Amino acid sequence: MSDAADLTATELVDEYGSGALSPVEAAEAVLARIGRDGPRLNAFCVVDEETTLDMARAATDRRARGATLGPLDGVPVSIKDILLTRGWPTLRGSATADRSGPWDEDSPAVARLREQGAVFVGKTTTPEFAWKAVTDNPIDGVTRNPWDVSRTPGGSSGGAAAAVAAGMAPLALGTDGGGSVRIPAAFTGIFTIKPTYGRIPHYPASAFGTLAHTGPMTNTVADAALLLDAVCGADGRDWSALPPPDFAFSEAGPDDLTGLRVAFSPDLGFAQVDPEIAASVAAAAEAFTELGAKVEQVDPGFDDPVEDFEVLWFAGAAKVVEKLTPRARGLLDPGLAEICEQGARYSAVEYLTATARRMELGRLMGLFHERYDLLLTPTMPIAAFEAGHEVPPGWPSRRWTSWTPFTYPFNMTQQPAASVPCGLTSGGLPIGLQVVGARHADALVMAACAAYERIRPWQRLTGR
DSSP classification of residue 128:
G
Those residues with Cβ within 8 angstroms of residue 354's Cβ, 6 or more apart along the chain or in another chain? 307, 308, 309, 311, 312
Amino acid, single-letter form, for residue 442: D
Picking from 123, 120, 116, the residue whose alpha carbon sits closest to that of residue 137 is: 123
Nearest to 213 by CA among 235, 241, 188: 241
Among 78, 94, 107, 156, which one carries the catalytic annotation? 156
Residues in a beta bridge with 146: none
Active site residue 100: no
Q: Do 85 and 113 form a contact (C-beta atoms < 8 A)? A: no
| Active-site residue flag, 80 | yes
Residue type, 422: C
Which H/E stretch holds residue 438? none
Of the residues 22, 80, 157, 265, only one is catalytic, namely 80
**Cα separation of 24 and 68, whole Å?**
15
CB 103 within 8 A of CB 86: yes
Task: Respond yes or no: is residue 180 known to be catalytic.
Answer: yes
- Judge residue 341's burial from the number of C-beta atoms within 10 Å of its C-beta, 0-12 exposed, 13-18 middle, 19 or more buried: middle
Q: How far apart are CA 26 and CA 59, in angstroms?
A: 11
The full DSSP string for 153-217 is --SSSHHHHHHHHTTS-SEEEEEESSSTTHHHHHHHT-EEEEPSTTSS--SSPPTTGGG-EEEEE
Q: How far is CA 269 from CA 125, 273, 438, in A?
A: 34, 11, 19
The catalytic position among 78, 180, 265, 419 is 180
- Among 187, 170, 180, 190, smallest CA distance to 387 is for 187
In 3D space, the residue among 383, 415, 401 whose CA is nearest the CA of residue 189 turns out to be: 383
Phi, psi of 210 (to 5 degrees): -80, 15
Neighbours of 359 (CB within 10 A): 12
- Distance between the two ends of the chain, CA-based, in angstroms? 8
CB 110 within 8 A of CB 85: yes
> Are 453 and 445 within 8 A, CB to CB?
no
What is the set of active-site residues? 80, 156, 180
